A and B are shown apart, each in its own frame.
Chain A
């Protein structure tokens, strides 16, 4: 009797030893809620320590880059909405600006101001989703509701102007789809008056929270040199102490004339990336306010009747407008041969569009350099040596959208 007990306990100990010595592979996702879509991570674990992480992407791949080659330039705008679905206006802007660069179009002042205004509103909306879900991932439930309430107000503004909430397609090649609706300025001002105050109330829920500090400080560190080598951009790069913002350093759409600060943090961890985005929200609100002040009546479309769709009113009165409308819709417009790479500062980082034309109405090649795609590629570097629970914190701090990664 005693012998068997001894044997059993010896056997149990062996099993335990083996379990402690052996490494385990864990497949996290693709349906895991904290992966923000359908991302799968293969984690090699030693107990709770992450030895290696290998992201597996492509679950949402729909061949958008192939599709662009079969659509006319103006039809491509709708596809871009569906890439980074939290920042559709930023995608619109990058795409139409690349086409405008090839065409050499001059965009009127009012259209530029409205583009800046909406891009910054969209940046706030995108950061609101990030803040809400990032908190939710780490167990803070309440900020989520406050964040989504603010985002709802912005989506209502976008809906008022474009008719779409998530898929606005508001920016067109040569200008805008249509002008702002009556009363928009007042509604937007109302939002701006409320926003910083509301933001402060729910920002303190996390920023001043001890649990939040211990979950984010010193986690997911990536050094300045590594961040540059991995091609990180946007808040992830600025969280590693690199002072780079394309709105200021490669200005487009008249950003050089706006007065705003570029928040930079030097801690290189989840907390630093969190603080950069929080501070960015206030800066974006400042830019929106300046844009509202600059809003002067004027044309919203470039003077290029063979490229830009005419107003409905003109079509009823002028025969040539009707002909142009028919030709643009039926045959499209030819874009001179050439290639461009245009990069903008989207809410998640550098969103670059490479566009190559061979002279026809459809592009020969369109390539999107999505910030989420590049930022996610640095994840294995960041989570090495961290705990499993911190992987969730690091993914949240990267602010990825799988629609853009998989395209």
Chain B
């Protein structure tokens, strides 16, 4: 981890030690694991105090039905001034895949969260318009979950 990234992680820990569950540094990237109840506070703190003004990407993932917690959501933060990148990661259990929406922090979170909902069924609470974006509105199931078969359950018809 570079010194610069270390200062951001330290600042997060200093602000509230309960926010940072774990820090992993690999391949020149730093991942901070944050509890889902604190993610929005952590995002606002990093945006306002440490110039992480852009959400480069937000994506979900599924570790498989046998894992607990099963889902994760990545927040790839980027700064247009000091050009650092930081990944925040939230784990969500299968029976309650809910996390607060980041649309109030960055407007770009809107479509990313819709996509994540569309593919994984993760609910972003407080999202202004949480509906499917790439798949048809009457699509059944969540296609990128590990237990969803590659070709679907039955041939999809446009009727």
Hey, which chain A residues are within 8 Å of B28, CB to CB? 101
Find out whether the CB atom of B80 lies under 8 angstroms from the CB atom of A242. Answer: yes
Residues of B within 8 A of A249 (CB): 83
Q: Is A228's CB under 8 angstroms from B110's CB?
A: no
A59 and B122 alpha carbons, distance in the complex (Å) = 22
1/0 per residue A234-251: CB within 8 Å of B? 000000001010000110
Could you mark each residue 348-385 of chain A with 1 if its beta carbon is under 8 Å from any beta carbon of chain B, else 0?
A: 00101010100000001101010001100110010000
Query: Cβ of B143 and Cβ of A63 under 8 Å apart?
Result: yes
**Distance between A104 CB and nearest chain B CB, rounded to angstroms:** 8
Which residues from A are CB-within-8-Å of B110? 377
Residues of A within 8 A of B63 (CB): 364
Known contacts A341-B57, A341-B76, A369-B57; decide if A377 and B108 are in contact (CB<8 Å).
yes
Residue B85, interface by CB 8 Å: yes
- CB within 8 Å of A: which B102-126 residues: 106-108, 110-112, 119
Complex Cα distance, B29 from A407, in Å, reads 26
Give the contacts of A16-48 with B (CB-CB under 8 A): none
Shortest C-beta distance, B144 to chain A (Å), equals 6
A377/B111 contact (C-beta < 8 A), A65-B144, A228-B80, A231-B55 known: yes
Asked whether, in the complex, the Cβ of A354 is within 8 Å of the Cβ of B53, the reply is no
Collect the chain A residues with CB atoms within 8 Å of residue B26's CB: 338-339
Give the CA-CA distance A61 to B54 in the complex, in Å: 26
Contact A340 B54 (CB under 8 A): no
Decide: A369 near B134, CB < 8 A? Known: A230-B108, A231-B54.
no
A229 engages B133 (CB within 8 Å): no
Q: Are B57 and A228 in contact (CB under 8 A)?
A: no
A188 to chain B, nearest CB (A): 31
Are B150 and A66 interface neighbours, CB within 8 A? yes
Whether the Cβ atoms of A343 and B56 lie closer than 8 Å is: yes
Residues of B within 8 A of A101 (CB): 27-28
Say yes or no: A341 contacts B54, CB within 8 Å: no
Task: Give the distance in Å from the alpha carbon of A61 to the alpha carbon of B80 in the complex.
Answer: 31
Give the docked Cα–Cα distance between A227 and B7 (Å): 27
Grouping DSSP codes into helix (H, G, I), strand (E, B) and loop, the A interface class, with mixed when no group exceeds half, is mixed
Q: Is the CB of B61 within 8 A of A365?
A: yes
A242, B78: Cα distance in complex, Å: 14
Check if B134 sits within 8 Å of A406, measured CB to CB.
yes
| Residues of chain A contacted by B78 (CB below 8 angstroms) | 343
Q: Are A226's CB and B107's CB within 8 A?
A: yes
A228 to B133, CA, bound (A): 22
Asked if A67 is at the interface of the complex by the 8 Å CB criterion, the answer is: yes
Query: Of A343, A364, A374, which is within 8 A of B108 by CB?
Result: A374
Q: How far is the CB of B48 from chain A (nearest CB, A)?
A: 13
Tell whether A58 is near chain B: CB-to-CB under 8 Å. yes
Please, how many angstroms separate the alpha-carbon atoms of A343 and B150 in the complex? 27
Inter-chain contacts of B62 with A (CB < 8 A):
365
A374 and B135 form a contact (CB under 8 A):
no
Contact B54–A58 (Cβ < 8 Å): no
A377 neighbours in B (Cβ, 8 Å): 108, 110-111
Bound: A367/B59 CA distance, A: 7
B136 within 8 A of A: yes
Which residues of the partner chain A approach B38 to less than 8 Å between Cβ atoms?
A: none
Per-residue contact bits, chain A 43-73, to B (CB 8 Å; 1 contact, 0 not): 0000000000000011001010111001000
Residue of B whose beta carbon sits closest to that of A373: B111
Whether the pair A228, B59 counts as a contact (CB closer than 8 A) is: no
Whether A61 contacts B134 in the complex (CB less than 8 A), given A343-B56, A367-B57, comes out as yes
Return chain B residues, CB-CB under 8 Å to A61: 134-135
Q: In the complex, what residues of A have CB within 8 A of residue B111's CB?
A: 373-374, 377
The smallest C-beta distance from A373 to any residue of chain B, in angstroms, reads 7
CA distance A229 to B78 in the complex (A): 11
Name which residue of chain B comes closest to A340, CB basis. Answer: B27
Is there contact, CB below 8 Å, between B135 and A58? Answer: yes
Question: B residues bordering A, Cβ < 8 Å?
Answer: 26-29, 31, 53-57, 59, 61-63, 74, 76, 78, 80, 83, 85, 87, 106-108, 110-112, 119, 132-136, 143-144, 150
Q: Which 4 A-B pairs give the minimum distances between C-beta atoms?
A: A231-B108, A369-B57, A58-B134, A377-B111
Q: A58-B132, A58-B133, A338-B27 are in contact. List 12 more A-B contacts (CB 8 A).
A: A228-B80, A229-B53, A231-B54, A231-B55, A340-B27, A343-B78, A350-B56, A354-B57, A354-B76, A364-B63, A377-B110, A407-B134
A-B contact pairs, 10 of them (CB 8 A): A58-B133, A101-B28, A229-B53, A230-B107, A242-B80, A338-B26, A341-B57, A364-B61, A369-B56, A378-B107
